[in-house]
């Protein structure tokens, strides 16, 4: 049964104004910073201008690969893939590698050869694979983005915007495999059939130089210049920064992310262990609790509706083990799902008979609302 609990609070999660700040990203052709949880634009400069994006393309390549294959799929590298120009994962013709390994070669070494091998495995050729990428872009509402290849090599019909790229990265970072890959600094693997060891090293210097950095991808071509998508997380708040055509990208990203962290504070909307519902069996009560915290970056102004939707069966039947998932909380902002938290049973429920659910979640959120209104 789905039950919606509306929380009206006076904390600022309304769409943030697109801040003009000449001191930030002044050397970039375009730039933006968004809230990784809500997608709100925090800072922007020429954010809707269509530009080439070089190897930051590979964020969508990784998304498409994961959604159309399995990490354990074995890929045989073709001669066409191994001979691709530009940045390389140094894979060789005939090598058999897992899709997981190729994704590390794609995102750490920025391997054009890995991008080609992935595309061939999934679609047979890069053209059909690029169409899958375009379909995903349309699904995500990225109407100023178009792909012609999975690597980011120059093509006049291959472009995006800083804002679309930030939104691509925001979606990508919801995929655990991508989040793990882009936060990894070094990776080593062996080809399944040759035993040759491959070493991949992440080109994203933000992982070493910026506190809390979590990803995501670098890029460079002569036409695009230096391109960078970065993300960082502190105190449960994550922000995503993008620059296209920026010779000072490391410095600019540090400043943009600092700006974002200075404008928000973390608010715990769901607390791990809090009782969401209670179950009653034979006169005894059993708690259904939140499995983890959910933190929302808030601003000090404005007002917004946060919806927390409880998804839990009203007809649970014993036995239910302690820690077993019995449902989930869906957190929505502005009509969009921005996160979820599992609901688990706090105790073993072994008695026979139906479980009668009583809601105790609304009272908690009224207390949260009162605090937010202060």
Between 17 and 285, name the one with better pLDDT.
285
- Annotate 34-86 with DSSP letters as a single string: EETTT--EEEEESTT--B--GGGGHHHHHHHHHHTS-TT-EEEPPHHHHT--S
Amino acid 98: pLDDT: 97
The whole-number pLDDT of residue 361 equals: 53
Instruction: Give the pLDDT score at 336.
Output: 87
Could you give the count of Cα atoms lying within 13 Å of 186 in the half-sphere of its Cβ? Answer: 3
Mean pLDDT of 252-281: 92
pLDDT at 333: 87
pLDDT band at 334; cut points 50, 70, 90: confident
Catalytic positions, written as ranges: 55, 58, 110
CA pair distance 50, 224, nearest whole angstrom: 11
CATH topology of domain 30-247: Beta-lactamase (3.40.710)
What DSSP state is assigned to residue 89? -
| pLDDT number for residue 290 | 95
The pLDDT tens digits of the residues spanning 121-134 come to 999 999 999 999 99
- What pLDDT is recorded for position 340? 94
Q: How many CB atoms lie within 10 A of CB 367?
A: 10
Give Cβ neighbours of residue 174 (< 8 Å, ≥ 6 apart): none
Specify the 3-state DSSP secondary structure of 20.
coil
pLDDT surpassing 80 at residue 117: yes
* CA angle, residues 244, 36, 345, in degrees to nearest 5: 155
Residue range 2-10+268-373 in CATH 1.10.10.10:
no
Work out the average pLDDT over 261-286. 87
pLDDT band at 4 (very low <50, low <70, confident <90, very high): very low
Q: Comparing 164-168, 190-194, 311-315, 330-334, which segment has the lowest mean pLDDT?
A: 311-315
- Per-residue pLDDT tens over the stretch 349-365: 887 666 666 665 544 45
Task: Indicate the DSSP class of residue 194.
Answer: T
Peptide bond between residue 216 and the one before it cis (omega within 30 degrees of 0)? yes
Q: Which residue did the predictor score with more confidence, 154 or 369?
A: 154
**Mean pLDDT on 183-210:** 96
Instruction: Say if residue 145's pLDDT is above 80.
Output: yes
Same topology between domain 2-10+268-373 and domain 30-247 = no
Nearest to 338, CA basis, from 153, 204, 157, 174: 174
Q: What share of the chain has pLDDT > 90, as a percent?
A: 75
295 contacts 268 by C-beta, under 8 angstroms: yes
Can you give the residue ranges of every domain in the chain? 2-10+268-373, 30-247
pLDDT at 204: 98
Average pLDDT value for the chain: 88
Q: What is the pLDDT of residue 18?
A: 43
pLDDT tens, position by position, 68-88: 999 999 999 999 999 999 999
pLDDT band at 231 (very low <50, low <70, confident <90, very high): very high
Which is higher by pLDDT, 244 or 365? 244
């Amino acid at each position: 049964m789905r039950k919606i609990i509306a929380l009206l609070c006076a904390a600022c999660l309304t769409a943030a104004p697109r801040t003009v700040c000449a001191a930030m990203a002044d050397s970039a052709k375009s730039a933006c910073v968004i809230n990784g949880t809500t997608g709100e634009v925090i800072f922007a400069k020429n954010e809707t201008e269509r530009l080439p994006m070089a190897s930051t393309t590979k964020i969508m390549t990784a998304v498409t690969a994961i959604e159309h294959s399995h990490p354990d799929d074995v890929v045989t590298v073709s001669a066409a893939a191994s001979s691709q120009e530009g940045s390389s994962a140094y894979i060789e013709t005939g090598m058999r590698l897992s899709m997981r390994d190729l994704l590390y070669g794609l995102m750490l070494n920025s391997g054009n050869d890995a991008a080609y091998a992935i595309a061939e495995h999934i679609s047979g050729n890069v053209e059909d694979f690029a169409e899958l990428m375009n379909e995903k872009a349309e699904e995500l509402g990225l109407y100023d983005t178009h792909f012609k290849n999975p690597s980011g090599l120059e093509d006049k019909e291959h472009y995006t915007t800083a804002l679309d790229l930030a939104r691509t990265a925001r979606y990508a970072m919801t995929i655990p495999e991508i989040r793990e890959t882009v936060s990894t600094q070094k990776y080593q693997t062996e080809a399944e059939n040759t035993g040759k060891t491959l070493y991949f090293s992440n080109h994203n210097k933000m992982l070493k130089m910026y506190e809390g950095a979590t990803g995501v991808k670098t890029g460079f071509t002569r036409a695009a210049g230096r391109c960078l998508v970065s993300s960082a997380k502190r105190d449960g708040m994550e922000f995503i920064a993008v620059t296209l055509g920026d010779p000072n990208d490391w410095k600019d990203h540090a400043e943009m992310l600092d700006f974002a962290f200075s404008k928000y504070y973390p608010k715990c909307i769901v607390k791990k262990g809090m009782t969401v519902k209670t179950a009653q069996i034979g006169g005894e009560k059993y708690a259904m609790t939140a499995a983890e915290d959910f933190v929302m970056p808030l601003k000090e102004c404005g007002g917004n509706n946060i919806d927390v939707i409880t998804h839990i069966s009203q007809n649970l039947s014993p036995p239910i083990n302690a820690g077993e998932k019995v449902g989930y909380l869906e957190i929505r902002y502005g009509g969009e799902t921005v996160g979820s938290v599992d609901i688990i049973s706090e105790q073993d429920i072994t008695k026979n008979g139906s479980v009668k659910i009583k809601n105790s979640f609304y009272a908690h959120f009224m207390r949260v609302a009162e605090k937010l209104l202060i």
